[in-house]
Amino acid sequence: MSQRIRTFVAVPLDEPVRCAAVEVIGRLRSAGADVKWVEPEHLHVTLKFLGEVDRQRIDGICAAVRDAAAGCAAFELRVQGAGAFPDLRRPRTLWLGATRGVDQITTLAGQIESRLAELGFDRERRPFHPHVTVGRLRRAGAATGRLTALLREQADTDFGTTGVREVVVFSSHLSPSGPRYEPLAHAPLRA
């Protein structure tokens, strides 16, 4: 039986954007809602979640991601606005959005999706919406009116620009104290 590794592909955030995200998490935390907040070192933009994959597939995944990334030019992504999936009336996932660079990151995610589909991974059925997850409500209905109001206040907030110069394939090790991410491969974009 082969070992399985929980795997995803993401864009890391530059430090100033990460710091701005941590500040807004602090403001949102003050609402007192039952939320599992994302640790600062884990903030990123997910391009593809693969789930549990056999260890022997990791090299192929990394090669496919490197190939996709090499075909895309580096760009800037503006992180701006806050919201929730599925929406503010029924928030489950709290996020920071993206404005400038959305077309480029959507193309990058599509290239990665295509390369991984060639390896037999299912294509994502939902449209790609670039975002930074900052928290997940622990149960439906756990949001407070104050949390919703704070999210609305951040709807147009500019959290800064992050340079998208590489994509990282991560493994995620889950534990009671929270996940631990380990980079498996760095895939640079064209300069």
pTM, full prediction: 0.94
Q: Which two tokens stand for residue 107?
A: 């193309």
**For residue 191, what are the CA distances in angstroms to 45, 113, 123?**
20, 22, 28
Q: Which two tokens stand for residue 77?
A: 């992504």
Q: Is residue 129 annotated as part of the catalytic site, yes or no? A: no
**Domains located in the chain, CATH noted:** 4-188 (3.90.1140.10)
Q: Is residue 131 annotated as part of the catalytic site, yes or no? A: yes
Given this model, what pLDDT does residue 177 score?
78
The catalytically annotated residue of 129, 131, 173, 186 is 131
- Greatest alpha-carbon span in the chain: 51
27-44 tens-digit pLDDT: 999 999 999 999 999 999
Q: For residue 74, which amino acid is it?
A: A
42-54 tens-digit pLDDT: 999 999 999 999 9
The pair phi, psi for residue 34, each rounded to 5°, is -80, 85
Round to whole Å and give the CA distance between 167 and 142.
Answer: 33
